[in-house]
C-alpha cells in the first residue's frame, strides 16, 4: 500500500466512523431528534456500525485501521513502523472531518440548543468523559478496554482466510459493540485516541451555541490509556502467540 493510499483510506474510513459514532450520540441526546432518549444500547450499536462502514470502505486502500491504538498494536506485532505516522495522520484528519460532518447533519438541533432555557452540554457528542472523574481509575479502564479490542484483532489475524474473506471486519464491529455494552459505562470507551482527540479539537473550534467546555484537563486520558493498552496487547501477543 502506498503512503497516499494509506493516508486517503484512513481519512475516509475514520471520517465515516466518527460520522456514524458521533451521529448516533447526537441522535440520542439532542432535543428535537427522532431518536431522543433511545439509550446506551443504540449508541453502542451505532458505533459498531460506524466501525463496520468505515473499515469496509477503507480496507482496499489502507486495511482500515481507523485507530492509532490498532496501528500501534499491529506495528509492535509485525515490527513494521514505516507507515505508522501516515496511518495516525490520516486517522486524525478523518476524525476531525467526521466530527464536522456530524455537526452539519445536526446543525438545526445544535442551533435549537441555544434556545433552550437550560442548554445541553455538547462535548459528549464528540468526545468521551467519565461518569466518575478519577484519572487513575479512568486510565485503567481505557487501558483494559483497549486491550480487549487490540488483542483479539491481532489474534483474528491467525485465523486463515478470515481477513481475505472480509469477515474479520464484521467480527471487529461486533467486538466494538460488545466493548461498549460491557466496558463502556465508566468512561464512554474511547479505545481510540483519534476518535476522542480529533472531535474534541473540532468541538473547541466549532461555533456551537452554548456548547460548554471541551474539558482539556481530561483529554490526555483517552489518548494515553488506549496507547498503553495497545502497547501491552502487542507485547503480550508476541510473547504468547
Structural domains of the chain sorted by starting position, each given as residue range(s) with its CATH number in brackets: 3-240 (1.20.1080.10)
**217 Cβ contact list (under 8 Å, min separation 6):** none
pLDDT in tens, the chain (241 residues): 899 999 999 999 999 999 999 999 999 999 889 999 999 999 999 999 999 999 999 999 999 999 999 999 999 999 999 999 999 999 999 999 999 999 999 999 998 877 766 667 799 999 999 999 999 999 999 999 999 999 999 999 877 777 666 789 999 999 999 999 999 999 999 999 999 999 999 999 999 988 889 999 999 999 999 999 999 999 999 999 9
pLDDT at residue 212, rounded to an integer: 86
pTM here is 0.95
Which position has the grid cell 461518569?
Answer: 131
Amino acid at each position: 500500500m502506498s503512503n497516499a493510499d494509506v493516508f486517503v483510506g484512513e481519512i475516509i474510513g475514520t471520517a465515516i466512523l466518527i460520522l456514524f459514532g458521533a451521529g448516533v450520540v447526537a441522535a440520542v441526546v439532542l432535543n428535537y431528534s427522532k431518536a431522543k432518549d433511545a439509550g446506551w444500547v443504540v449508541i453502542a450499536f451505532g458505533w459498531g456500525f460506524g466501525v463496520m462502514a468505515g473499515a469496509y470502505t477503507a480496507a482496499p486502500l489502507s486495511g482500515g485501521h481507523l485507530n492509532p491504538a490498532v496501528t500501534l498494536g499491529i506495528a509492535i506485532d509485525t515490527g513494521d513502523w514505516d507507515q505508522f505516522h501516515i496511518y495516525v495522520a490520516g486517522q486524525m484528519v478523518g476524525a476531525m472531518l467526521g466530527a464536522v460532518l456530524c455537526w452539519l447533519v445536526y446543525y438545526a438541533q445544535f442551533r435549537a440548543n441555544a434556545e433552550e432555557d437550560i442548554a445541553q452540554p455538547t462535548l459528549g457528542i464528540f468526545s468521551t468523559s467519565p461518569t466518575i472523574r478519577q484519572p487513575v481509575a479512568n486510565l485503567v479502564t481505557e487501558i483494559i478496554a483497549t486491550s480487549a479490542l487490540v488483542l483479539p484483532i491481532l489474534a483474528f489475524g491467525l485465523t486463515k482466510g478470515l481477513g481475505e474473506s472480509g469477515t474479520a471486519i464484521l467480527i471487529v464491529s461486533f467486538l466494538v459493540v460488545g466493548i461498549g455494552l460491557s466496558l463502556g459505562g465508566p468512561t464512554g470507551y474511547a479505545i481510540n485516541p483519534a476518535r476522542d482527540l480529533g472531535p474534541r479539537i473540532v468541538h473547541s473550534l466549532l461555533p456551537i451555541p452554548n456548547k460548554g467546555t471541551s474539558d482539556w484537563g481530561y483529554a490526555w486520558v483517552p489518548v494515553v490509556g488506549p496507547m498503553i493498552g495497545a502497547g501491552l496487547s502487542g507485547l503480550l501477543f508476541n510473547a504468547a502467540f
